[in-house]
Amino acid sequence: MTTTPLTLAEIESLAISTLTKNGCDEANAKAIASTITRAERDGSASHGLFRLPGYVKSMQSGKVNGKAIPVIDHKLASVIAVDGDHGYAPYTLECALPELAKAAQSTGIAVMRLYNSFHFAALWPEVEYLAEQNLVGIACTCFKPSVAPAGAKKAFFGTNPLAFAWPRPDSTPVVFDMATSRLAKGDVMLAARDGHTLPDGTGLGPDGEPTNDPNEVLKGVLLPFGGYKGSAISMMVELLSAALAGDQFSYEAQKQDNNDGGPARGGELIIAISPELVAGAGWDDHAGSFFDEMSALEGVRLPGARRHDNRKDTGTRQVNTALIETIKGL
Ligand code: NDP
């Protein structure tokens, strides 16, 4: 794979100009570009510039509103409903997350449901934002079916990510953000593009048999992580982000989506909890001792640490050269 070094500023400006040329207003373009740039910064290539052609395709097809103006309904103290105006999630989240944080800081726990929105990014930005406000954050969303529930050979669940962040006032938050499939679909697509094989248990080919070939898995189905246990968590994500958020289950999104290469419409559920109000004074020292004990075990590293370490490097990122050419042609 041939790569080209780009600074983070160059990545952001390439994303902003591509998005504004293709239907985004400035506010939406800046929010999406920031999400893309932070993914490249953290070494999460599958949610960086790699996603930009998909963002553009769904605006070109008329499915997504690049000029979305989210509407926030906050009638109950602990429940916030956000209509994303058929736009991409980053700008909606930028507008609504401060309201969620404020609610949790006054009531102890608050929940936000986001609907009429299109999520094509990682989830850690939303939970990490909450942790930066000294809140515990939990977020999940569903997608279109590409994962077979345990026992099945047919896709029914999305790759249904679940993210969690724990605040550490004197340090970076502890964050995990993971697809509930064995591998995220973006990583399978990258493996297909770059000619890599997949780890065992990633998916089944179109014949329903296990395979390590990413091209066969893309024609077949992904599997949940951890067998029936991951399958149950993926089911929970469907219920929280569709039934509770008031948007489509993955199987409903499949029927309604125009398959233009971008994301399908879907909901997101985000929960914010104040440890100060729920656990009271001393919560931070208590959790801090737990992290110290855990980190002292040989072989352990805390989730999120890889991304936070990557941030220390403010230099250029290596970006696939063919992808840059594709983006410049949009
Ligand atoms: P990974 O499997 O790469 O990582 C999952 C989590 O595990 C990360 O928080 C990671 O932390 C942590 N981790 C990895 N290795 C270790 C280790 N050895 N010890 C401790 N922790 C570890 O992520 P996925 O491929 O499952 O997901 C990638 C992204 O895809 C996510 O950001 C997710 O939100 C996104 N996604 C979005 C979808 C959407 O519809 N919008 C759909 C599906 C996925 P670290 O980052 O520090 O490595």
The full set of domain ranges for the chain reads: 70-181+224-292+303-314
Question: What residue owns the CA closest to ligand 1's atom 30?
Answer: 122
For the chain, give the percent of residues with pLDDT over 90. 96
User: Three-state SS for 297?
Assistant: coil
pLDDT tens-digit profile of 239-264? Answer: 999 999 999 999 999 999 999 999 99
The total of other beta-carbon atoms located within 10 Å of residue 9's CB is 9
Tell which CATH architecture fits domain 70-181+224-292+303-314.
2-Layer Sandwich (3.30)
Residue 141 forms beta bridges with which residues?
A: 268
Question: Which residue is catalytic, options 42, 83, 177, 187?
Answer: 187
User: Crossing angle for the helix pair 52-60 and 8-21, nearest 10 degrees?
Assistant: 10
- Cβ atoms of 97 and 103 within 8 Å: the answer is no
Query: What is the structure's pLDDT at 30?
Result: 98
Its pTM stands at: 0.96
pLDDT tens-digit profile of 254-302? Answer: 999 999 999 999 999 999 999 999 999 999 999 999 999 999 999 999 9
**CA 289 to ligand 1 center in whole angstroms:** 25
Decide whether any atom of ligand 1 lies within 6 Å of the 161 Cβ.
Answer: yes
Question: What residue owns the CA closest to ligand 1's atom 16?
Answer: 303
**CA 120 to ligand 1 center in whole angstroms:** 14
**CA 298 to ligand 1 center in whole angstroms:** 22
Q: Pairing relation of β-strands 79-88 and 109-118?
A: parallel
Query: What is the structure's pLDDT at 192?
Result: 94
Decide whether any atom of ligand 1 lies within 6 Å of the 123 Cβ.
Answer: yes
Q: Please state the separation of Cα 290 from the chain's center in Å.
A: 27
- Cβ atoms of 126 and 270 within 8 Å: the answer is yes
Query: What is the structure's pLDDT at 150?
Result: 96
Decide whether any atom of ligand 1 lies within 6 Å of the 127 Cβ.
Answer: no
Three-state SS for 26-53 is HHHHHHHHHHHHHHHHCCCHHHCHHHHH
Question: Which residue is catalytic, options 46, 86, 213, 284?
Answer: 46
pLDDT confidence tier of residue 77, bands split at 50, 70 and 90? very high
pLDDT tens-digit profile of 101-157? Answer: 999 999 999 999 999 999 999 999 999 999 999 999 999 999 999 999 999 999 999
> Per-residue pLDDT for 54 more than 90?
yes
Both structure tokens of 71: 């509407």
Testing ligand 1's pocket by substitution, the residue of 50, 93, 117, 178 carrying the most ligand atoms inside 8 A of its CB is 178
Q: Is 46 a catalytic residue?
A: yes
CA distance 88 to 65: 8
- Strand spans (E) along 119-220: 136-141, 162-166, 174-178, 203-204, 210-211
In ligand 1, the atom with minimum distance to the C-alpha of 183 is 25
Decide whether any atom of ligand 1 lies within 6 Å of the 305 Cβ.
Answer: yes
pLDDT confidence tier of residue 184, bands split at 50, 70 and 90? confident
Q: What is the chain's mean pLDDT, rounded? A: 97
Check residue 62 and give left, alpha or beta (phi > 0: left; psi -120 to 50: alpha): left
Q: Is 308 a catalytic residue?
A: no
Decide whether any atom of ligand 1 lies within 6 Å of the 294 Cβ.
Answer: no
CA distance 100 to 79: 8
Residue 117 forms beta bridges with which residues?
A: 87, 266
> Per-residue pLDDT for 186 more than 90?
no
Decide whether any atom of ligand 1 lies within 6 Å of the 234 Cβ.
Answer: no
Decide whether any atom of ligand 1 lies within 6 Å of the 250 Cβ.
Answer: no
Q: Is 60 exposed, middle or buried (0-12, 13-18, 19+ CB in 10 A)?
A: middle
- Cβ atoms of 32 and 263 within 8 Å: the answer is no
Report residue 302: phi and psi, to 5°: -80, 140
